[in-house]
A and B are shown apart, each in its own frame.
Chain A
Amino acid sequence: GAVVSQHPSRVICKSGTSVKIECRSLDFQATTMFWYRQFPKQSLMLMATSNEGSKATYEQGVEKDKFLINHASLTLSTLTVTSAHPEDSSFYICSPLPGLSSYEQYFGPGTRLTVT
């Protein structure tokens, strides 16, 4: 299967600071990237969709100024949580899309963010 990496895998930050999460598709190009969020013991919720070179589209209830998404290349997308607060503590998972004919939906291993 395709390899998707996320960095860091775990991060602890203080309230008010910003955290950047990187997602890389290591063996395919992804024109589209999905970012999901999973709160403890809950399901995954789509946060935003980004296409390479254009602005991300955010789901209802997700603040675009708080969760900055950059999809500058076909193999790298970043999610920056700005001015993080404890309620942003969650598991963030990226999902790059190789193409519309892709059979499997690939996911990164996730980044666990804890804001103290």
Chain B
Amino acid sequence: AQKVTQAQTEISVVEKEDVTLDCVYETRDTTYYLFWYKQPPSGELVFLIRRNSFDEQNEISGRYSWNFQKSTSSFNFTITASQVVDSAVYFCALSEAYYKLSFGAGTTVTVRA
């Protein structure tokens, strides 16, 4: 069964538009971690954020923000005022036990100038 669902396969926006990436997860554990990674065309994964299951505070880092809602098992990611450099594949991931990550299918974001 899919533990992490990223329903959006591809999103295309014009520069300066906001873009929100959805992530829905499934777990029976009470302690777990959620991650977002960026994978540019080079292939190397870039860590963006880690959130543990007990911390539901939303977080903002520059143009990036994350909304964690346990009630809906969602951990959505918003890029504000998108830029061409934001073009990449973004993965949401869940860690239930011992740092093994279950990745979502990924969302390809294309930002057009």
CB-based nearest B residue for A42: B105
**B98: A residues at CB distance < 8 A:** 32, 49, 100
**B45: A residues at CB distance < 8 A:** 93, 107, 110
- Tell whether A105 pairs with B101 under 8 Å between CB atoms, given A43-B91, A43-B106: yes
Least CB distance from A87 to B in Å reads 20
CB-based nearest A residue for B104: A43
- Give A104 to B37 CA distance when docked, in angstroms: 11
Count of A-B contacts judged by CB separation below 8 Å: 51
Interface contact B101-A110, CB-CB below 8 Å: no
Least CB distance from A100 to B in Å reads 8
- Give A1 to B50 CA distance when docked, in angstroms: 14
- Tell whether A109 pairs with B44 under 8 Å between CB atoms, given A44-B103, A104-B50: yes
Q: A4-54: which residues lie under 8 A (CB-CB) from chain B?
A: 32, 34, 36, 42-46, 49
Interface contact B95-A105, CB-CB below 8 Å: yes
Interface contact A105-B50, CB-CB below 8 Å: yes
Interface string of B49-71 (1 = CB under 8 A from A): 01000000000000000000000
Question: What are 11 A-B residue pairs whose CB atoms fall within 8 Å in the complex?
Answer: A1-B47, A34-B99, A34-B101, A43-B103, A43-B105, A44-B103, A49-B98, A95-B101, A105-B35, A105-B99, A110-B44
Q: Which 5 A-B pairs have the closest CB atoms?
A: A107-B45, A109-B44, A43-B103, A44-B103, A110-B43
